[in-house]
Every structure is written in structure tokens, then in C-alpha cells.
Copies of this chain bind each other. A is one copy, B any other.
Amino acid sequence: MRQSKMLIPTLKQNPKGAVALSHIMMLRGGYIHQVSAGIYAYLPLAYRVLEKIEKIINDEMQKIGAIRMLVPTLLPAKLWKESGRLSTYGPELFKLKNRRGTEYILGPTHEETFTALIRDTVNSYKDLPLILYQIQSKFRDENRPRYGLLRGREFLMKDAYSFSLNDKDLDRIYHNMDVAYRKIFDKMQLHYRPIIGNGGAMGGSDSQEFSAPAKVGEDTIVYSDKGDYQANLEMATSKCIAKKPDVAPKKLVKKSCPNTKTIKKLAKFLKVEPKQIIKSVLFIANKKKPVLVLVRGDHDVNPTKIQNFLGADFLDLATPSQIKKLVGCVPGYVGPVNTNVKILADDYVKYMVNTVAGANENDYDYVNVNPGRDFKVDAYGDFRLAKEGDVAPNGVGHLKFTPGIEIAHIFKLGTRYSKDLGATVLNENGKRVPVIMGCYGIGVSRLLSAIAEQQSDDNGLVWPISVAPFDIHIIPVNVKNDVQMNLALSLDKQLTKDGYEVLLDDRKKRAGVKFADSDLIGIPLRITVGRDAKQGVVEVKIRKTGETVKVRKDELENTIPIFRKELSNNK
């Protein structure tokens, strides 16, 4: 491929406004172009990378019996009414109407579309299991798009859906997907961690997320420094290592504690440690049900855990006026004693004795509060946000945090969607039962960013050979020099014939410009055809290591595979 025919608008300078390394380098390398905030064009080089990624995904999907198809992006809003998500999905949902007033949404995901398809076309368990997938643009009305392809309003996803009669098939397919995803990311030489994900987000149970460690990542990966525990922070649990202190409960006392709305101020005022205080947080579930959550004063509530425990579509912090109405005080004095609100308490609270809690009265707290005696807890559980240093839930090692990019997510959905949409089949006994579902997503355009984030250096992108837009970049130093140009052309021809994808820089530019562009573009191997062309010698440069080797043209055929093998072995 002649470089002059491609649109590769490289940039010498870092573009304004871009902060993520991948974003900067994909702009500078001429891979992407912003059309509007959070919306990008994939220029020819990026499109080639996408094709490689698609091929890797397709190959692995095929191996596990997943079948590709394509559903529309423009979906009737009434379909999402059936699942309830039209109102629960939130402001990220793009909505529009046609000229007749019919309401549509732009699909951010397609559980409903595929569930309705199965409902309308499959009648018997004999036609199951089925695994269907597509690769397609998805839409999210991000309030603050950022980091290039990482958080955009239009993006490419592979989304797969499985339909089976029973959980056994679901478990098998879920496992196969897990394995397939690992192979996919391994092929791309991507560092990733399979972590426990938030299944509740899709209304299902089990869920695993694949997160690619990267500084710019918005995930917090929680992992054990010794064991194999790995989870997204929103799901991360830790072992409760508290013990009931051998102390007799004292008499409950209401105490004036003015201006101590925070745990810190209250601890100082009472001369106790924060962990001797109960932190009480009032939430409103599903826009109407109040729930009071208690954690130890040095812990934080993890709202995701509360939401999943309650199975709530919405969970909001109570506003000051709601707090006033429900418990009768200003924020900062809320507590579990003398209240009718449902109480969820973190496991650590169970072990607290003679503790402190708000009195639901302005400027007053209770001291010598004892759970069980002074208030009833509706349910104990792990409701706290995990912290670095916590003991891993299996007791092996301590938790550490690292940022990551969510690149994929698999979910066991069960009957969450099939029940609402009425997707049933006749089972072996002729009885109608809802189909069991799973859904399995990969952020395809996001993978470009994740790979670029992990692999770029100061000079530009460094693509792994499996997804690089080309295998070899041939650069004749001086295209007006016939010897150089003829050798470059013959190498291009020969290597293309050998099955390599070759980009030939035939532009009349200075060598320095071409080398800088080549580094920015990041093709794994570069062949420079310069002065030594007279002797039939070229220079091969490995983009990743910077290593250069002079090679005779007739030895290239043997040399290239060696370099490629080396590059495909290391991550």
C-alpha cells in the first residue's frame, strides 16, 4: 500500500485538550479524528486495526459456536419500556422521535433487541442453546466525554447474547466466553485482569469484567497482593477481621455535640477514634423507599453493594429535606436509634460496643450505643467500600488498588429480560418457561485505546503485530533516488507476495519527517532503504525495542519471521 494514497494526517505537536496518552498518540499518529465531542472518525489506519481486532474476535467466537448477525441501532422506545429500562437507564440514553412522533432510542446495548428476537422466532427448547453476537456502533449520551475513544458518545462494541433452557448450558457458555475472551486479549498482547464485576448493573447475577491496567483507567482494580482475588472496587469485598471486645455495655446517653456534623469533628469533640463511631447514611431506594446504612466511622458505604442487595434500580442519597422529613434532623446527626427506617449495617458494626451514633436530633448524638440493644438491624452484610490494605475476602493476602480500563464484561442474566419481554420456550414437558440468558460484551473501539495506553512510548504508538495496521513499513530515504526507490518497490512487491501487509512511504518528504511519522504510526517493523541500497543492504528497525539491524535484501525473507516471532512472544 502506497502511503500517498492513504489519509494519515500525523501531527508534530501534542493536540490541545488531549490528556490520555492513547488519545494523544492516536491523534498524532493520524488514526482518529474528532467529529464532535466524544465522537470520532476512524481513519484508514485505525480502521485496519479495528479489522484485525474484529478478526481475532470472530475467530474465537466461531470456535465457541457464537453466530454473527446485526441488529439495528435505531430501536423503538417501547421495546425498552417492556424491560423497564427506558426509565431506569438514565440520562445516558439518547432519545429521539421520527416525523410521526414515534419514539426511538439509539441502542447503548441490545439485551431487549435480542430477547425480543428470540421471543418472536424461537418456540422450543430444541432450538436452544443459541449464541448470537454482533459488532456495531453503540451510543451513550455521556455528559463529559473524555480520553478519546475511552469514553465517547458513539463507540464500537461486540455484544453477544446466549439463550438456553437451563443454567447448566448458561454456565458452560459463560465459561467458554471467559476462556475465549482471555484468548482474544492474549492474542492482542494486552495486559488485563479478569475481575469480579457488577452483575447488578445488567440485572443479572454472576459477572466478570476484564480490566486493562492503565494510568488513565476509570476502573479501580482491587487485587490481593498474595492470592488470586481480583475485583472491581464497586464489588470488592474484604474479610471482616473484627472481634467483639470484652467490654460490658454501658448505659445509653444522649449527649449535646454541637457543630460535629462530620465523623472527624465528632471524634475530636468526643476524644474517640473514628472507628468508635457509627457512620449513618440515609439513602432513598427506587425514588421512594428510605434505607439507613451503617458502617464503622473509618469506613465508607459502598452504594453498589446496597443497590445490589436491595435489587434497586435507583439509589440516591437522601436530600437534607428528605432527611428532615424522615428522621427529623439536619444531615450529620442521623442515627439508628429511635427510627422506623429500614437499617442495613456493615458486618463491622456488629462488633462495635459502646459506640457513638447520631440522635436524629440537631446537635445531639448518642454515646454507649450498642447494636441489638439500642436498635434493630434488618440485615448485616459487607456494605463497606474496600480499602487498600484490607485482608482479601479469602484471607489470602492484602488488597491493593490499581487503575484499569474496562475492556469487556460478561454477565449471567438469568431470566431478567426474558421474563419482562415474555421470551419463553416449551421445555421437555411442554411447559412454557422463560429462556435463560447471558450477555457478553467487548469494547472494540476501547481496545484501541487500551492497547495504545499500554504500548505507546514517547515517540508514538507501538502496535503488537497481531493488531498492527501493517506488518512492515518500508521507507525509501530519498524517493527520487532510483536505486533506493526501485529496491523499496521490489521489497514491497516481494514481501506483499510473501503475505505481509506492507506500507510503503512513497511521499516526497524529508527522511526525518518520514522517520518521525513512522514512529508515530507504530508499525512493528520498519525497513529503511537508504545509501546502502547500492549494496543491496537495508536497515530493519524494531519499533518496540528500537533495535536496528542491517540486513542484505536476500536475507530479509529469513530475517523477518525471526523478528516477528520474537515480537509475538513477549507481552
A interface, over-half SS: mixed
B33 touching A117 by the CB < 8 A rule? yes
Residues 126-156 of chain A, each 1 if its beta carbon lies under 8 Å from chain B, else 0: 1100111000010101010000000001100
- Whether A397 is near chain B, meaning CB under 8 Å from some CB there, is no
A508-B126 contact given A72-B137, A74-B139, A74-B153, CB 8 Å threshold: yes
Nearest CB in chain B to that of A68: its residue: B47
Max chain B C-beta neighbours (<10 A), residue from A33, A70, A137, A508 = A70
Q: Does A121 contact B (CB under 8 A)?
A: yes
- Does A75 belong to the interface (CB within 8 Å)? yes
Q: Is the CB of A42 within 8 A of B70?
A: yes
Pairwise interchain contact B153-A5, C-beta atoms closer than 8 A:
no
The residues of B that contact A35 with a CB separation of less than 8 Å are 71-72, 75-76, 79, 113, 116-117
A73-B154 contact in complex given A91-B99, A132-B7, A137-B137, C-beta closer than 8 Å? yes
Q: Which residue of B lies closest to A92 (CB)?
A: B99
Q: Is the CB of B127 within 8 A of A4?
A: yes
Q: Are A33 and B130 in contact (CB under 8 A)?
A: no
* A47 surroundings in chain B (CB, below 8 A): 68-70
Is the CB of A253 closer than 8 A to any CB of chain B? no
Whether the pair A6, B137 counts as a contact (CB closer than 8 A) is no
Pick from B41, B69, B113: contact of A43, CB below 8 A: B69
With known contacts A113-B41, A121-B33, A126-B508, A67–B5 Cβ distance under 8 A = yes
Tell me, yes or no, whether A65 is within 8 Å of chain B by CB: yes
A20 within 8 A of B: no
Q: Would you call A56 an interface residue if the criterion is a C-beta within 8 Å of the partner chain's C-beta atoms?
A: no
Q: State whether the Cβ of A96 lies closer than 8 Å to any Cβ in chain B.
A: yes
Tell me if A41 and B72 are in contact (CB < 8 A): yes
Question: Does A120 sit within 8 A of B, measured CB to CB?
Answer: yes
User: Is A95 in contact with B94, judged by CB distance below 8 angstroms?
Assistant: no
Q: Give 1 or 0 for each of A28-62: 1 = CB within 8 Å of chain B CB.
A: 00100101110111111011001000000000000
Q: Report the separation of the CA atoms of residues A6 and B33 in the bound assembly, to the nearest whole angstrom.
A: 38
* Cβ–Cβ contact A72 & B508, under 8 A: no
> Nearest Cβ distance between residue A61 and chain B, in whole angstroms?
12
Inside 8 A of A139's CB, which chain B residues have their CB? 74
- A9 at the binding interface (Cβ < 8 Å): yes
Choose one: B68, B74, B102; the contact of A44 (CB below 8 Å): B68
Instruction: Report the Cα distance A131→B5, complex, angstroms.
Output: 8
How far is B126's CA from A37's CA once the two chains are assembled, in angstroms? 30
- Judging by beta carbons under 8 Å apart, are A99 and B141 in contact? yes
Contact between chains at A120 and B5 (CB < 8 Å)? no
- Judging by beta carbons under 8 Å apart, are A5 and B69 in contact? no
A257 at the interface (CB under 8 A from B): no
Known interface pairs A100-B143, A130-B7, A153-B98; A72-B117 also in contact (CB < 8 Å): no
A121 and B5 contact, Cβ closer than 8 Å, known pairs A44-B132, A70-B42:
no
Residues 296-310 of chain A: 1 if any B CB is under 8 Å from the residue's CB, otherwise 0?
Answer: 000000000000000
* Given known A-B contacts A73-B154, A99-B143, A132-B44, A67 and B6 have beta carbons under 8 A apart: yes
Q: Which residues of B contact A9 (CB under 8 A)?
A: 120-122
What residues on B are CB-neighbors of A91 within 8 Å? 99
Give every chain B residue within 8 A of A95 (Cβ-Cβ). 96
Provide the residues of chain B in CB contact with A343, threshold 8 Å.
none
Q: Which residues of chain B come closer than 8 Å to A120, judged between CB atoms?
A: 9, 33
| A6-B67, A67-B44, A141-B98 known; A39-B74 Cβ under 8 A | yes
Cα distance A33–B127 when bound, in Å? 17
Min distance, Cβ A350 to any Cβ of chain B, angstroms: 42
| Chain B hits for A71, CB < 8 A | 35, 41-42
Measured between beta carbons, the chain B residues less than 8 angstroms from A43 are 69
List of B residues within 8 angstroms of A116 by Cβ: 35
Question: How far apart are the CA atoms of A131 and B1 in the complex, in Å?
Answer: 13
**B98 pairs with A69, CB closer than 8 A:** no
Contact A39 B72, beta carbon cutoff 8 Å: yes
> In the docked arrangement, what's the CA distance between A120 and B9, Å?
9
Residue of B whose beta carbon sits closest to that of A114: B41
Residues in B neighbouring A44, C-beta threshold 8 A: 67-69, 132
Residues in B with CB closer than 8 Å to A127 are: 4, 7
Residues of B within 8 A of A507 (CB): 126
CB distance from A276 to the nearest CB of B (A): 44
Q: Is there a chain B Cβ closer than 8 Å to A392's Cβ?
A: no
How far is it, in angstroms, between the C-alpha of A254 and the C-alpha of B439 when the chains are bound?
A: 79
Q: Please tell me if A106 contacts chain B, counting CB pairs below 8 Å.
A: yes
Residue A41 contacts which of B36, B37, B70 (CB distance < 8 angstroms)? B70
Which of chain B's residues have a CB closer than 8 A to the CB of A96? 94-96, 106
Contacts of A42 on B, CB cut-off 8 Å?
Answer: 69-71
Q: Which residues of B contact A137 (CB under 8 A)?
A: 72-73, 137
Min CB distance, A339 to chain B, in Å?
Answer: 36
A-B contacts, 12 of them at CB < 8 A, read: A5-B65, A5-B131, A7-B130, A33-B120, A35-B76, A35-B79, A35-B116, A36-B79, A36-B104, A39-B75, A41-B70, A73-B137
Q: A9-B120, A42-B70, A126-B507 are in contact. List 14 more A-B contacts (CB 8 A).
A: A4-B127, A5-B67, A7-B122, A33-B117, A35-B79, A35-B113, A36-B74, A41-B69, A41-B72, A44-B68, A72-B137, A94-B96, A96-B106, A100-B143
> 10 closest Cβ contacts across the A-B interface?
A9-B121, A96-B96, A36-B76, A41-B71, A42-B70, A44-B67, A47-B69, A39-B72, A72-B154, A44-B69
